[in-house]
Structure 1
């Protein structure tokens, strides 16, 4: 089974411009994902980007970035499934075989454990009935939304309407699903936007692995954790630069 890491790094972030390459501890953020990918027992680490600046950084840190991502996979309304479509067309034109499995490494999630990905690859290799694997972290089900009148109301119908507070243990365990995904290219070929499939195996990891740079606040939190390393016994396993 051939596997490749895929780091999707579009340059058009509106909330935090160029968040993928903002510096943390002397390195651009994307470098942490590249370094992680290079520690895995896989064929190559690919960066898909629409930016020559990102391409230069990616290659400098040891990733492959053989071409610029096309506009269909780069505009503001593009979805994740548009990136495998772009790779499916362009990688063979550059003499690169399409892998059986993609390891989707967001450039904005720097905390990861290689052992979890190795386990995911073993699952897909030994269990063909599994569509994909998601590295997840535990989340809190007690979320609220703003209703049509502008007031907060519980997101889940299982919230007791006679109570303002409920314990976490009164709800089922829920998980954040976007930390890291490992999926079959054939799944994208067969199902398109449902490329992860329905038979998704979870691997639960510490909550820190779910931290994702999405705005200035989350960037500052992640930057502080990397540079201060308050829990070296844990972070030494999760930071790869």
Structure 2
């Protein structure tokens, strides 16, 4: 028996923080298109609908392979409109007009241009395998401690948000439970929960842990996602210094003793596997005239570094200034390496 698994991408035209962010170009593609592609890349989703109040958005959605069987009524396309109203409208319309009933509904917010389609399928399977569950929500580890948060009254008095742990706000964080936040990347819910319970989650909710959050609500977040996509889509040329980047700095320039920087080598190899061109260069021997080429090549091979070209002769300096510089920590963060 076929299971109807429907992806719904809610994309209204209004946005105050980033105007028209749902169709704003991010690396020459409307942001909405990424979520459509994620849904189409899923092995389990068998229908993709965009719910929008805009004919312009609807045309873009169709151009990228989604359906737009209706234009969302304006009364549920406001800043204050709830997800449940949007999804209840969608499922009610499909049931009344087409006789179509969704067994499982996947919400993919268009403000999430970076997500792994495998996570979508994993969450769908998690719900299918747990018959008692109403929904599955993606979540990430919370950086702030909710057990030390407060509500403030008009009289200036404060009350703890968490009340089921006595004086948790006075406890060391190591003694407190691990906390997660819902990162808005993927929601999977049974269709009857939406129609019968009028809820986007139901009462029994499973959590699916992710490492990161790429929801876009500000210009800074938009730029971060844009940079991430440019790098991970491949086709770029990256130039890396060896000492201080690929290898840990050797204070006495005795490069025979150089040690690998494993974290950055993992980044370099990921960039290589993504289809980027990797160029390595070094100033080894530039001042002393010592030939370190064989030692360097042997080390790179031993460390498992993937690259296309290796150049010797970089001028020695105390500081290097480059208008295309990317901080190593930014690359580590972008490629999800600790």
Query: Same fold per TM (> 0.5)?
Result: yes
Secondary structure, counterpart of 1:217 in structure 2? helix
Indicate if the aligned counterparts of 1:137 and 1:179 stay in contact, CA closer than 8 A. Answer: no
RCO comparison, higher one (Cα < 8 Å, 6+): 1
**CA gap 1:172/1:140 in 2 versus in 1, 3 angstroms:** farther
- The number of aligned residues is 230
1:156-171 matches, within 5 Å, as 158-160=168-170, 167=173, 169-171=174-176
In 2: Cα distance, 1:137 partner to 1:94 partner: 38
- One of 181, 185, 188 as aligned partner of 2:187: 181
Secondary structure, counterpart of 1:159 in structure 2? helix
Say whether residues 1:64 and 2:67 are aligned partners: yes
**TM-score between the two structures when normalised by the length of structure 2:** 0.61
Partner of 2:304: none
In 2: Cα distance, 1:39 partner to 1:96 partner: 26
**CA gap 1:151/1:215 in 2 versus in 1, 3 angstroms:** farther
Partner of 2:20: 18
1:10-159 matches, within 5 Å, as 10-41=12-43, 42-92=45-95, 94-95=97-98, 97-142=100-145, 144=149, 147=152, 158-159=168-169
**CA gap 1:70/1:122 in 2 versus in 1, 3 angstroms:** same
Secondary structure, counterpart of 1:201 in structure 2? strand
* Contiguous gaps of at least 5 residues in structure 2: 233-237, 239-266, 275-333
Partner of 2:11: 9
Deviation at 1:170, TM superposition (A): 4.2
How much is the aligned-residue C-alpha RMSD, in angstroms? 3.0
Secondary structure, counterpart of 2:61 in structure 1? helix
In 2: Cα distance, 1:173 partner to 1:120 partner: 21
Indicate if the aligned counterparts of 2:136 and 2:206 stay in contact, CA closer than 8 A. Answer: yes
Indicate if the aligned counterparts of 1:16 and 1:214 stay in contact, CA closer than 8 A. Answer: yes
The superposition leaves residues 31-83 of structure 1 with CA deviations (integer Å, 9 ceiling, x where unpaired) of 11011000112211110000111101100011111210112321222101001
**CA gap 1:14/1:110 in 2 versus in 1, 3 angstroms:** same
In 1: Cα distance, 2:156 partner to 2:229 partner: 38
Indicate if the aligned counterparts of 1:72 and 1:82 stay in contact, CA closer than 8 A. Answer: no
Deviation at 1:175, TM superposition (A): 1.4
Q: Highest Rg: 1 or 2?
A: 2
**CA gap 1:96/1:55 in 2 versus in 1, 3 angstroms:** farther
* Contiguous gaps of at least 5 residues in structure 1: none
Secondary structure, counterpart of 1:23 in structure 2? coil
Deviation at 1:13, TM superposition (A): 1.1
**CA gap 1:151/1:20 in 2 versus in 1, 3 angstroms:** farther
In 1: Cα distance, 2:41 partner to 2:97 partner: 24
